[in-house]
Amino acid sequence: MVKSLLNQLHTFFCYTLILAGLLSGHKVEAQSLEEMQQIQQARQAADAQKVDVSRYIQSESRFKRSPGSEGVTPGRNGESGASQNIRPFGANLFDGSFEAERSDGFNPAYRVAPGDKISVQLWGTVELAEVLTVDNQGNIFIPQIGPVQVMDVPATEVNQVVKTKIRSVYTNNVNAYVNLLTATPVSVFVAGPVIRPGQYAGLPTDSILYFLKRAGGVDPVRGSYRKISVLRNNQSVQEYDLYEFMREGRLPPFSFKDGDVILVNEQGPMVTVEGAARYPYRFELTEQRSRGSDLTYFSRPLAKTSHVAITGNRPDGPVSVYVPFSEFEDFDIYDGDVVLFNDDLQPQVISVKVSGSYIGPSFYTVKKDARLLDLLPHIEVDAEHADIDSIYIKRESVKAKQRELLDESLRRLERSVFTAPASSDGEARIRAQEADLVMRFVERAKQVEPLGKVVLSEQGRIANIRLEQGDEIVIPLKTDLVQVSGEVLMPQAVVYNSEARLTDYVAWAGGYSERADDERIAVIHANGLTTFFETGGSSHWFSSASEAQIRPGDQIMVLPRVDTKLIQSIKDITQIIYQVALAANVALDSN
């Protein structure tokens, strides 16, 4: 009770300090609401459970330690906590609910036991239709024939054994049909490192997976998936390696008897696999020292793997080696090792895509140091239809940078709104309403996808830049149209007119809408360049609309006007609207 009260006082004191800073006119560079909640939860967990808060700090990579990584709980033989969190290979075998699915058939290797039900039907000279129970001596008793020994007879041979006995008495004109109907339930013990060891009922034909699942599955920290024994009268009668089942589908058939014990042995040497592998799990080895080929058989590294990093402990101290993949096959690995499969070969060629108006292939493979003008002569185009003077590139790295800059602007906008001071209750309510509007604007802005345009051409000259992997070379199609979009009454395509001015095209599209910013217009040229124009005279970095040279293929975009009631954040919102227009060619509305 006292601790809870102290926590509440601590939280109240923190918020009081923040509020005092706001009222004094100082802007607080606050963290986001989500980050504050996470910090508060971490502090409460530390107070309640007396744990090190540094455990909440996780490094991005095993090979990059962050401050506070000393608090990471070490695993067995020095394995990091991150490695320990990787599930063992085979652990997902017990995630399903297959124990609820029962089979009506029998295992071919099942042997008849006392209590089983056998259907016997005779017709001809003698007629009989009965279901007989195997007695404690292993016999079924057939009238006029006597006892027939069937105990330990395989299920596939019961029919033949009983029919042979019947024909020894009735040699002629008697037909027989014998069928094993049901097996007597058995009680099997499950012991060792499993989640719920104990005694479980099932059918003799049930698989070992059924009983292990009933026991909660193998303990992923202590139990072995490769050394599971079935004991009968304290003697091992069957051995299982679940890796063979997971990898090759092999599960030896076995018929359980009452009192059998399934013993899961202690977990063997474990090696953690990371990186370029199809199965990045913790693998159990059968020997204390194994070869790399034993691990690759189960982990299946990707074809692109070129090198392998091995870290671990040896009797003479820690080791960390980096070897080619071809040498890893014969490399000795030990318990606790961490194996990282890596693609460390730099490609000597890159792939480039072509879109727009072109003839021929759409993908080209070039040397990694190739430049644009090295490739352009190999791209076929129709000179009458392709606007080769307006070529531009869409580049993933530019797209990522535009996304990063836009996200940073949005975070700055959120901080400016949530830390704006309020001198009265009425102003605080207004700020809350403004914050709601801004948050809706931010959500829409986050959904905008930048194009990653790289402007290359100007006045017929094309920059000879170095190409990058994944570049998309865009060759615009020649057109006689000018697109008018954004805050106009009728967004549409207008035929190019060499005598028309910028404002004429806007007028032909129905004029400005009521939410339009009629003082600034963006023009996106066919080569990807975006220019902003002032309709009421030039100012700042804008050009006057009278200087605008509209060309065929251009897109005129009328931007929305920012509501002046958002006076605290109008500059930031305006900046973001321009960023979106530049990066994504979209007129984002602030309302």
pLDDT tens-digit series, residues 345-361: 777 889 999 999 999 89
Q: What is the pLDDT of residue 347?
A: 76
CATH class for the domain made up of 117-182: alpha beta
Distances in Å between the Cα of 544 and the Cα atoms of 3, 395, 428, 526 are 66, 31, 40, 20
**To which H or E segment does residue 3 belong?**
helix 2-23
Interatomic CA distance for residues 567 and 570, integer angstroms: 5
Fold of 91-103+186-266: Outer membrane lipoprotein wza fold like (3.10.560)
Residue 117 has pLDDT above 70, yes or no: yes
β-pair type (461-462, 530-534):
unpaired
Interatomic CA distance for residues 229 and 210, integer angstroms: 15
Q: What is the pLDDT of residue 241?
A: 92
Q: The tokens of 368 are what?
A: 């990694």
Q: Are both 91-103+186-266 and 117-182 of the same fold?
A: no
Sheet strands side by side (includes 516-524): 492-495, 481-486, 555-560, 516-524, 530-534, 543-544
User: What average pLDDT is seen over the chain?
Assistant: 78
- Of 83-97, 185-199, 269-283, 335-349, the one with minimum mean pLDDT is 83-97
pTM of the model: 0.50
Interatomic CA distance for residues 53 and 13, integer angstroms: 21
CATH number 3.10.20.90 is the correct assignment for the domain at 403-584: yes
Interatomic CA distance for residues 540 and 534, integer angstroms: 10
Interatomic CA distance for residues 295 and 284, integer angstroms: 9
**Confidence at 425, pLDDT banded by 50, 70, 90:** confident
Residue 57 has pLDDT above 50, yes or no: no
pLDDT average, residue stretch 460-480: 90
126 compared with 476, residue with greater pLDDT: 476
Q: Are the C-beta atoms of residues 523 and 505 closer than 8 Å to each other?
A: no
Q: What is the pLDDT of residue 92?
A: 85
Strand segments (E) across 155-258: 174-182, 186-191, 198-202, 223-232, 235-240
Q: Which residues of 443-479 are buried (b: 16+ CB within 10 A; e: fewer)?
A: eebeebebbbbbebbeeeebeeeebeeebbbbbbebb
The residues spanned by each domain of the chain are 2-73, 91-103+186-266, 117-182, 289-342, 403-584
Place of tokens 């008018």: 484
Q: What is the pLDDT of residue 77?
A: 47
- Of 33-37, 210-214, 264-268, 420-424, the one with minimum mean pLDDT is 33-37
396 compared with 11, residue with greater pLDDT: 396
